């Protein structure tokens, strides 16, 4: 069951030759979700062979240009391709008027409907849910109202152990009750605990996307134990003053969040164009949280369930 992140853009405000502005695609069971939509996102979708028609939900972390300016071109492209399915967009309430104005100005006719969902940037709440995942907001600290997003798989029903079916002559009705959490009582009156009859073949996985933000202790508590964390790391530690001035984090701060939150793996991005590459960011972060990787455009990260002690 696919659960992965594709990096479309890893630069901060100023694009570079090798890095586009922020945009990630989350693939959950072959359904694609777009998080942020910086300039050129539609180019990156084609470049990295992502199915545009499978994107039905777009989540915008905040209203700075490097996170939203690619949306209007993408909407136009959807229209030219004859899209019919509704497009759901989740963003700060102020964005709705901007969105409607641009769509009406640049498109004489839209072949599909856009459903706008306002986000409260000050609270943690579930804003999307389907049979496979939930998406919740993570309030962040930036110069404008900003949220991150927590993608969490839903737990599936357990499997019945084959040997238990034979040993206790379980019928269909018994199996249904056991899969829904009940213990089993034998004909002799012995109670068999549910845990002895079932097993989970798949542990639910989680991904946290934490865009532009100051270092946040509150965030640590909201993302405890996630399997994969993306946290912006715009600056190196020597430029901590700039990070504070602009409302961003350093690689060291991103790694500190990962360490305190006990996440499985950390990926960092949103790098300032002042740096030639992100090797120093990765090195600084690994001093604190070794399982850190500086992202590059086009990379795919499979979300693997975090190992827990037996």
Phi/psi for 65 (5° steps) reads -55, -35
| Residue 141 neighbours by CB distance under 10 Å | 14
Length of the chain: 310
The percent of the chain in helix, strand and coil, each rounded to the nearest 5, is 30, 25, 45
Distance spanning both ends of the chain, measured CA to CA:
24
Helix axis angle, 279-286 to 251-261, nearest 10°: 40
Contact partners, residue 217, CB within 8 Å, separation at least 6: 260
| Residue 276 neighbours by CB distance under 10 Å | 8
Name the nearest CA neighbour of 154 among 199, 205, 195.
Answer: 205
Which run of H or E residues covers position 65? helix 65-68
Place of tokens 């991150």: 148
Gap between the Cα atoms of 70 and 274, Å rounded: 23
Gap between the Cα atoms of 150 and 230, Å rounded: 10
| Residue 178 neighbours by CB distance under 10 Å | 23
Q: Is 66 a catalytic residue?
A: yes
Which run of H or E residues covers position 114? strand 114-118
CA atoms within 13 A on the CB side of 80: 8
Which among 66, 88, 212, 297 is annotated as catalytic? Answer: 66
Active site residues: 66
């Amino acid at each position: 069951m696919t659960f992965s992140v594709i990096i479309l853009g890893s630069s901060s405000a100023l694009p570079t030759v090798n890095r586009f502005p922020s945009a990630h695609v989350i693939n959950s069971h072959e359904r694609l979700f777009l998080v942020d939509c910086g300039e050129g996102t539609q180019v990156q979708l084609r470049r990295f062979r992502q199915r545009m028609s499978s994107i039905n939900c777009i989540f915008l972390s905040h209203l700075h240009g490097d996170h939203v300016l690619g949306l209007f071109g993408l909407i136009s492209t959807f229209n030219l391709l004859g899209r019919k399915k509704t497009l759901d967009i989740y963003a700060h309430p102020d964005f709705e008027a901007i969105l409607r104005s641009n769509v009406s100005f640049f498109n004489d006719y839209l072949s599909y409907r856009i459903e706008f969902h306002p986000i409260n940037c000050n609270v943690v709440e579930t804003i999307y849910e389907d049979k496979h995942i939930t998406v919740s907001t993570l309030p962040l600290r930036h110069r404008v109202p900003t949220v991150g997003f927590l993608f969490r798989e839903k737990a599936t029903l357990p499997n019945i152990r084959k040997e238990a079916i034979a040993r206790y002559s379980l019928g269909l009705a018994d199996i249904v009750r056991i899969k829904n959490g009940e213990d089993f009582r034998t004909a002799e009156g012995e109670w068999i605990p549910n845990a002895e009859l079932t097993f989970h073949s798949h542990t639910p996985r989680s991904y946290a996307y934490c865009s532009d933000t100051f270092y946040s202790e509150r965030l640590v508590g909201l993302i405890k134990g996630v399997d994969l964390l993306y946290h912006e790391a715009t600056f190196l530690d020597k430029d901590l003053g700039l990070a504070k001035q602009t409302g961003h984090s350093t690689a060291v701060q991103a790694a500190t969040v990962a360490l305190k939150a006990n996440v499985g793996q950390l990926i960092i991005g949103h790098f300032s164009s002042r740096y030639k590459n992100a090797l120093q960011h990765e090195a600084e972060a690994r001093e604190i949280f070794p399982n850190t990787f500086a992202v590059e455009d086009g990379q795919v990260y499979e979300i693997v369930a975090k190992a827990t002690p037996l």
